[in-house]
Structure 1
């Protein structure tokens, strides 16, 4: 009798595991590219409406360097700078206003009120609302730059999606206001920080693609 019960439990477990959907694939993203326009396609296969952040800049790493980003700046120069900036007027205005308000209040709290309104193009995060079983496409402008003199160079660049889960759990400057936003009462909607990347984006880029 015990053996029969054990066999039935094993069969039930195997059946249940096969039927149960994977939670980590319920909210996902895929990329598409059309020349210098990138589209990030989100899909919400959960049973809830969701609120989620996206980075205003998509960062790309060069396979020849260990850096997360090749955007460049005062800290580091790269043979080619590759990044993408979100196009205007796509976020949820209602929730974006809440996030911006929390960010401004936090900057004031830590004595950095002078930075309010001084954001550069591509700084920060945008917030979106996506219904259960819905899809949403967010457009970015792909930037490929090489400083003069133009030198021959080519490499493979990988899009490194912003690690929201890590930022929310760690000690990062932007982590605190994102944490505060994530704890708001969204009613019947749920805050989800990190989508599953269904297909990573790799771009083969050379000096011929730059400065267009």
Structure 2
């Protein structure tokens, strides 16, 4: 396939699997090349919160997701938790942003303290040391002092902490609308076009434009 934007996406074992899967779907639809990593705990959460039953092996999972989301050949790559030869595992690999969505508090702790016990943690460590874009999407409530301290430390290192806390000003009617709110914000931060949720002020501007046109009198 033609050269396109490369993005690393990981899902860990926090609640919020629909956010990560919807983001994967949107990135594929946007034509991105996605390097996808899923922790074992994330697979359990996915089977609990959605109707997906992901195959255990990376190759089988890749084929399953390619068919589900209509990915082009070579557009999606799935890596195992200890695939140390995967591009996200090294700073000498191709430069790409990393999104961990959802991001468990255990992963937050590992990243804040420099642990690299699996590919996802190593990919996060690489993103931090190479000063690459790193977006973390925790979903926990309430946050303990430990969680908050880890988020502060990671923010100071350059990471973006974006809790899965959807807004309501877009008047959501379904759970999917709430999921789309967070996914749209993530797409915006990745500089990817999205039409899931209008940006702040766009709906009002469109309404004003429509009213202005309706006020123009018809010609003779």
User: Is the TM-score greater than 0.5?
Assistant: no
Higher CA-based Rg: 1
Higher normalized helix content (fraction of residues) = 2
Higher normalized strand content (fraction of residues) = 1
For the aligned pair, the TM-score class normalised by the smaller chain equals under 0.3
Structure showing greater relative contact order (alpha-carbon pairs closer than 8 Å, 6 or more residues apart): 1
